[in-house]
Amino acid sequence: MSDRLRIGIIGAGAAGMAAAWDLARAGHEVHLYEAEKNVGGLAAGFKDEGWQWTMEKFYHHWFETDKSILKLVDDIGKSGKVLFPRPKTSYFIDGKIYRSEMNASALSLPLSFPALIRLGLTGVYLKFLTRDWKALEKVTADSWMRRWMGDEAYNKLWRPLLIGKFADRYQQVNMAWMWARIYTRSLRLGIYEGGFQAFLEALAEAVQSKGAVLHLSSPVDAIGSQDGKPTLVIKGQTEVFDRVISTASPGLMLKLAPNLKDTAYGKQIADLKSIGALCVVLALKQSILTDGTYWLNLPATSADKKASQFPFLALVEHTNFMDKSHYGGDVLVYCGDYVPVDHEYFKMSEDELVERFLPALKKVNPAFDASWIRKSWVWRAPYAQPIPFVNHSQNIPALKTPLLGVFWASMSQVYPWDRGTNYAVEIGQQVAKEAVASN
């Protein structure tokens, strides 16, 4: 290629590898730098002895509407490995488990008939009748849902989930974010045979088969410039490129490129708000959610985790989704939550966090006992969920930075869509296209 570019990519998560796939297939020289010893980022998994499949640390399923990642799976010739069962998802309300699907099962929810009608009509409108998210971002989810869904259904179903996720900022999150979550959800949930890590490793192999070079255990120390071209400093060595694509978090991007700090673009990055995520994963000897529920939404009664009925947001029995035979017979349960990076959950030891969460399991299943636990793991990520305020589209930095030849693509920029591997792939493909087209 006469216009062949040398491109450096920071991060071998879904976004970085999707960009690398498109660029390498187009004939460009691609170098992909990953700080960890394995690819995957937030979508990565782990495997215990005796397991055939990996278990995800944070992201746990796809949706049938996740077209970008499903096409990428197909492009690398692995579509036959995608599974789409229909697991049971539920709410925990007043000590009982209720199906959470927007269908006839909603009639069993503990709501009055008028509240059920308003809930159904609002769900139909958001799911099928509107795509005008720009109008919805002008109001908060709290105010919009109170007005149209009504206080009864909102306070019983949605407000506890918003509090659980965003704590004392729940009344500031805009309605476009909520619409995007409802609009894109499907009843069937997908996973890759062997776990997401198996897909990510297959994608890494496909990327390398097209000529891209993957550098693991290679954290980038700085983004700079030399003779009008962008550079990356890796382990003390400076590499010169025609283009640089960073998929780093906002905070890391400003650290890598300090020249951005005094620019309007850098201020946009600095003003972005997000919260972290954590998952306590338990390998158990027997089931907790014996009704077959895969995903159980737990209500938050207070923004203060200590004062709330439950200290985390979701109780998920993964082996009610995928058979426990893939995991050596273990019943795998994870307790997921979102908290700010300065929250005590990021400071507690793993044992302390497990102990904090265990009493909640007994509230859901009184028979639960700590002796059921074979092993536990704790996974924490300080950057996991952007917080979208009113009119948030005005706050999103462009993919092209003011630094010559440097581009930035993060989950803070997939708005109005929510974080996840599908939109990571989508934005990775977008930034690859823009980087090549840019002068």
Is residue 110 predicted with pLDDT exceeding 90?
yes
pLDDT for res 2? 52
In a domain, 86, yes or no: no
User: Residue 310: what are its φ and ψ, rounded to 5°?
Assistant: -125, 140
pLDDT tens figures, 236-282: 999 999 999 999 999 999 999 999 999 999 999 999 999 999 999 99
Neighbours of 96 (CB within 10 A): 10
Question: Of 323, 321, 324, 302, which is closest to residue 311 (Cα–Cα)?
Answer: 302
Mean pLDDT computed over 82-108: 91
Mean model confidence pLDDT for the chain: 96
CATH number where 341 lies: 3.90.660.20
Q: Are residues 292 and 357 in the same domain?
A: yes
Tokens linked to 1: 């290629």
In a domain, 92, yes or no: no
pLDDT tens figures, 369-389: 999 999 999 999 999 999 999
Residue 51 half-sphere exposure, CB side, CA atoms within 13 Å? 21
Q: Are residues 220 and 360 in the same domain?
A: no
Mean pLDDT computed over 301-313: 94
Q: First-to-last CA distance in the chain?
A: 17
Predicted model pTM: 0.96
Neighbours of 123 (CB within 10 A): 16
Is residue 1 predicted with pLDDT exceeding 70?
no
Q: Are residues 73 and 201 in the same domain?
A: yes
Query: What's the total number of domains in the chain?
Result: 3
Write the DSSP symbol of residue 279.
Answer: E
Mean pLDDT computed over 399-406: 97
Q: Residue 265 sits in which domain range?
A: 6-81+194-272+390-437
In a domain, 186, yes or no: no
CATH number where 40 lies: 3.50.50.60
Give percent of the chain above pLDDT 90.
96
Measured distance CA(335)–CA(401) in Å, rounded = 38
Locate the DSSP E strands across 149-251: 189-192, 213-215, 220-226, 229-234, 237-240, 243-246
